[in-house]
Amino acid sequence: MKKVFLFTLLALTATLWNVSRAQTATKYDLFVGGVQVTSDNASAITGEGITGSISYDAASKTLTVKNAKIELQNKKSGIENTGIENLTINLVGNNTFNTKEPGIAVTQNTIISGKGKISVKSENAAVYIFKNKNKVLTISGGCTVVAVGKWGISGINGSSGEVLVVNNAIVKATGSLGSIDDLSELRLEGTAKITKPQGAAFDQNKHTIMLDGKEVTSEVVIEYALEVYKLQIATVKVTSENASNITSDSISGKVSYDPTTKTLTLDNAVINTTSERGIYNLGIKDLTIKLVGKNEVNTTKYTGMTIKDNTTITGSGSLKITSNDVGIYVRDANNVLTVDGTTLEITGNNKGSIHYGISGTNGKKGETLVVKESDIKVIGSKGSICDMTALTLVNAKITKPQGAAFDNSLHCVAKDGKKVTEEIVIEKMASGTETALADSDINVWNSNGNLNISLRDNKTDGNIQIYTISGQLVRNISKPTTTVSVALPAGTYIVKYGKTATKVVVR
């Protein structure tokens, strides 16, 4: 009797637990093969006619379809989005749907993306935008969608604001009643274009693809041209396909490129390469390298970074470059490397010392380094900062080695007439501009509205003249001390000492 009672009690407890669990499950406005997606089945959506892997992440509104196959003989869709705004269908691998009803049906804005492929065959519309007005289906991200049915890809009637966007994707659509039909708009973005049938185009008045005055019911192919940018990360050439997530065995962390803003973002990234440059700007003018978190570029035989056009390194993060060759190589004529508001370290690695820290070609081609409010440590056994035409320091100064400065004639940071090959430290300052010139033994910078002048090695035997930008003498300082501070109105001034004339901005 006790055993029977105990069994009954356990069965009742299990039933109540299942009822409670069912009551607390969240139901999503999403169906796969006729099965509603819930918080209980989201991690592995299964049902009759479904094989492969299909899962849903509610936080990102992403349905991932991985090597999945859906075969339905009932009146159900393969995927039906009935109410999730901005749902993403992420395709991985090769996927196939065979249905009587629309293979993919959406009532809300939906994105089909990913690197995979899906082939949808239906006795109805293969892909269908329906029910609600002004909804957009976007096919992007390098995926391939093959849609075959009575309609390949279709809206309600073409007058309900149904929009199909194709960007960086391949679409092949065939429909006996219309291959791409009943749409208010077909929007081809980036390099996407109709390549088959040749000469076919979307007719906004007919709401369909037309050729020679007739609706196209044969296969319509939309393809895109892969755009290759003048940027390489380790062995990876950056393209329109991989720009949003640049990956390889040599790269960890997050590396991405936005061609619109010309911004390469390193987000806690580590780039290790023995066969290529770490970062190579092959000709993107005004490239910005944005640093987020701690980043590293480690190379052996090649440069950590080579720039063939103006480049700015910036951001709240930091970058450490190790190499046995060159840390950063400013290549080609009149290129400017700007380090703005960030932290940069360049040194050797466990294979040995680094030859050059930051270097141009020969210092006679207009190679320029600009440091703005940044902290830099750089070393090179053959030159720490060398072969440059100019070095400009804005709200920054060389603090190590003491007395070192840029030498115009030697095209490098020098001390006592010799190229510096030990560690150079540049530290950011509160405000102002400092220009350090070794051949004049003078530093000039602005701080808190004062123009500051420092004479090294106690060389105080000359006069200091301060002129306005228009050439008017505003101050003549004879027998100056080693450090002079002059209060001046905000503006741009020329400071002359000996044979040197230096421009400084007072704020």
- In angstroms, the CA 139 to CA 61 distance is 16
Residues 442-453 pLDDT 10s: 677 777 778 888
Count of other CB atoms within 10 angstroms of residue 410: 19
458 band by pLDDT with thresholds 50, 70 and 90 = low
Residue 156 has pLDDT above 90, yes or no: yes
Average pLDDT estimate for 135-149: 96
Residue 351 has pLDDT above 80, yes or no: no
- In angstroms, the CA 213 to CA 206 distance is 10
The fraction of the chain above a pLDDT of 70, given in percent, is 90
The fraction of the chain above a pLDDT of 90, given in percent, is 72
Residue 479 has pLDDT above 80, yes or no: no
- In angstroms, the CA 110 to CA 72 distance is 22
- In angstroms, the CA 304 to CA 306 distance is 7
Tell me what pLDDT residue 207 has: 97
Of the chain, the end-to-end C-alpha distance in Å amounts to 94
- In angstroms, the CA 102 to CA 97 distance is 10
Tell me what pLDDT residue 438 has: 44
Burial of 323 (0-12, 13-18, 19+ CB in 10 A): buried
Residue 344 has pLDDT above 60, yes or no: yes
Average pLDDT estimate for 222-227: 91
Residues 40-69 pLDDT 10s: 999 999 999 999 999 999 999 999 999 999
- For the stretch 65-75, what's the b/e string if a residue is b when 16 or more beta carbons lie within 10 angstroms of its beta carbon? bbebbbebeee
Residues 229-241 pLDDT 10s: 999 999 999 998 8
Whether the CB-CB separation of 307 and 337 falls below 8 Å is answered with: yes
Q: What is the mean pLDDT of the chain?
A: 89
Tell me what pLDDT residue 498 has: 67
Tell me what pLDDT residue 457 has: 58
Residue 21 has pLDDT above 60, yes or no: no
Tell me what pLDDT residue 395 has: 83
- In angstroms, the CA 79 to CA 63 distance is 10
Between 441 and 416, where is the model more confident? 416
Burial of 332 (0-12, 13-18, 19+ CB in 10 A): middle
Tell me what pLDDT residue 16 has: 43
Residue 269 has pLDDT above 80, yes or no: yes
Per DSSP bridges, beta strands 418-419 and 214-215 are unpaired
Tell me what pLDDT residue 81 has: 98
- In angstroms, the CA 248 to CA 236 distance is 7
Residues 394-432 pLDDT 10s: 888 899 999 899 999 999 999 999 999 999 999 987 655
Residues 293-322 pLDDT 10s: 999 999 988 899 999 999 999 999 999 999
Tell me what pLDDT residue 432 has: 52
